[in-house]
Structure formats: C-alpha cells, structure tokens
Copies of this chain bind each other. A is one copy, B any other.
Amino acid sequence: MSPSLQHFASDNQAGICPEALEYLLKSNDSGHEPSYGDDAWTQRVCDRMRDLFQTDCDVFFVFNGTAANSLALASLCQSYHSVICHELAHIETDECGGPEFFSNGSKLLTAKGENGKLTPDAIEALVTKRSDIHYPRPKVVSITQSTEVGTVYTVEEVRAIAAIAKRRQLKVHMDGARFANAVAALDVHPSEITWRAGVDVLCFGGTKNGLPVGEIVVFFDKQLAEDFAYRVKQAGQLASKMRFMSAPWLGLLDNDVWLRNARHANAMAKLLHQRLTDIAGVKVLFEPQANAVFAELPDHAAAAMRARGWKFYQFIGAGGCRLMCAWDTRQETVERFAAELRSLCIV
C-alpha cells in the first residue's frame, strides 16, 4: 500500500479500524443470532453507551448520518415547526433536504456565526423574529460538534446555547458526526458537552471514527425517544443483521479506541496546519481544533496537487480547500502533501 492511497478529501474515505473489524469478525462467528437488534452484541453496546455517558439514556442504531440527524430532528418537531442551525450546518448544506423529508416539511432557520458556530444571540434573534402562525415555530436548536469548519464548541458555549434553548422551550440536538474529535479536542468527559450541558439528543458518529457503517442516536431525555424504534423501522433504518452494525462499536469503545482514533486525526490536522502556515501563498482559514484544516491554496498549486492525484474538496460554504484527516492518516502522508504543496508554491 503506497502513501499515495491516502487523501484529504474526507474522513469517510478511510477504512475500518482494526479493533472494529475484529469485533465484526467475532460477531460473525456466533452462528444464528436474533435479528433487528435483539442480539447480545447490540445490547452490550447499548449498555456500554449508558456507561460511557454515565446516564440512563436510550440508544438506537441507524445506518448513516443523514438518517441519524433527520430522524432525531423529526422526533423533536412536527412539520410546521422549525430547526435553528448554523448556515454551514451539514443538515442545511449536505443532506439533500433529508431533514425536511423525514419531518415532512420542517424548515431549517439558519444563522450566521463566526467559526461555524451558532451563538445564543443568533438563536434568540431567530426565535423572536416571528411569532405568527404564518411562519414555522422554532422547536429545536441543532449544533454540530465538532463543526463543519473544524472548530469545537467549548463546554461553556454548549451550556450557553442550551440555556437559551431551554428558556425558549427549544430542544437541543447535537450533530456529532465527529463527536469523538470534539471530545478528544476538549479533553472532557463526553457527558460534559452533552447531557450535563443540556443536550437532549446526540447523533454519535461511528463511520468517520473507524466503523464500516453506522451511527448511534442517543436520547438523554428518554421521553423524547417514545416509539422511536417504530420511526427507525418505518424509515428503513433498522438493520436486520444488526450485530454487524453494533458489534464493531465494541472495538471503538474498548480501551477508548474511539478517542485514540480521534486524537490521532486531530493531531494530524494540527500538523498539517503547522506545515501549511509556513507556506507562502497559503492562507489557513480557521484554527484547526478537530480533524479538519481549511486553507486557501494558490489556484495553480491546488490544480497541480490534484493533477498529481491528491484528492480534497473545495469548500463551497466558507471558501478555500477542506483537508480532512482520518483515524488512519499517516504522518508521512501529511508531510508529503505539505512538501509537494510547498514546492508548488515557490515561484
């Protein structure tokens, strides 16, 4: 396997981490297993989640992030309600209308905000802007942790958002496609930026952390999870051979592999950021707190890098190129990318 087989296009281009794979294989050795989540592997993961978060939460498995976020949001609002989120929120920009589809029409109300973050003031402004029945009533605040631009809400920021949400009778949803990266970056207990801070529902991303497929929806407010199992089933998100979705989570949870994976990806992003900062003509756009680096590259350099086979996306929302690091991004890949880019930036 040559280093050229690694890229910075997305952390979902990485494969399965060894620990997760081991549990996948192990769960395949157990013969016939009850389907639809009635197996022992799935029960174990649910219990482990409750241990992890130190609270009696309800845990559901779905296939991907679109579904996790859309179903969670749909359970928090009716079609004539609205969801407040940042204008760069994944649910707004990259789900092809999934939240509107699953909720049968709930509108997303977007706010601007520095570093990809919602603020209490922006939420307050959206909640108070309209109160007539001709506009969908806000019921949910959705924040992405870590954010779409690689930043991380501090514990205080999450708390402040949850506080205004509670005051305005909004539920708090956290899109945690890269939740692990946020926990790793903040170095806090996962409960500190979720239920202890006032989050009602967390979509805990597994895929970008090293799983083959699957995300978990965690309801800290169990009342909100009423009949959610039916919702999951109807929405085509109930895996029949569930063990192959759930067992690999044990690989992430044992020995905190999920945090190790996240810390590594974060560290690679930090390294890449350092290297890019040095290069003349490259302008780094956000401080990389998680596993993403955003930078404006000289056009000719970006083109030349792509011509050499490097893959990375232009970030339409905020400008610049998005460079994602994964659980398996090698230091040499980062160094090689930086070196090649540097050589192209020298005129």
Q: How far is the CB of A287 from chain B (nearest CB, A)?
A: 25
Taking a contact as CB atoms under 8 Å apart, the answer to whether A230 and B62 are in contact is no
What is the CA–CA distance of A95 and B7 in the complex, to the nearest angstrom? Answer: 40
**Complex contacts, A94 vs chain B, CB 8 Å:** 134-135
> Which listed residue (B31, B136, B229) contacts A6, Cβ 8 A?
B31
Q: A64-B239, A81-B227, A207-B241 are in contact. Are A98 and B35 (CB under 8 A)?
A: no
Taking a contact as CB atoms under 8 Å apart, the answer to whether B5 and A234 are in contact is no
Taking a contact as CB atoms under 8 Å apart, the answer to whether B16 and A230 are in contact is no
Best-buried of A36, A70, A230 by chain B (most CB within 10 Å): A230
> Which listed residue (B25, B62, B137, B231) contacts A78, Cβ 8 A?
B231
Taking a contact as CB atoms under 8 Å apart, the answer to whether A13 and B28 are in contact is no
**Complex contacts, A213 vs chain B, CB 8 Å:** 63, 213, 239, 241, 244-245
Taking a contact as CB atoms under 8 Å apart, the answer to whether A93 and B9 are in contact is no
What is the CA–CA distance of A71 and B101 in the complex, to the nearest angstrom? Answer: 13
Taking a contact as CB atoms under 8 Å apart, the answer to whether A100 and B98 are in contact is no
> Which listed residue (B30, B81, B129, B134) contacts A5, Cβ 8 A?
B30
> Which listed residue (B34, B65, B101, B130) contacts A79, Cβ 8 A?
B101
Answer whether residue A102 sits at the interface, using C-beta atoms and an 8 A cutoff. yes
How many residues of A are in contact with the other chain, CB < 8 A? 81
Complex copy number for this chain: 4
**Complex contacts, A136 vs chain B, CB 8 Å:** 96-97, 230, 234
> Which listed residue (B5, B35, B62) contacts A236, Cβ 8 A?
B62
Answer whether residue A10 sits at the interface, using C-beta atoms and an 8 A cutoff. yes
Taking a contact as CB atoms under 8 Å apart, the answer to whether A66 and B133 are in contact is no
Q: How far is the CB of A267 from chain B (nearest CB, A)?
A: 18
Report A's interface with B, CB cutoff 8 A. Answer: 1, 5-7, 9-10, 12-16, 21, 24-25, 27-36, 62-67, 70-71, 78-82, 93-98, 100-107, 129-130, 133-137, 207-208, 212-213, 227, 229-241, 244-245, 311, 316, 326
The 9 closest A-B pairs by CB, nearest first: A5-B31, A67-B236, A101-B105, A100-B105, A12-B240, A80-B230, A66-B236, A212-B244, A104-B104
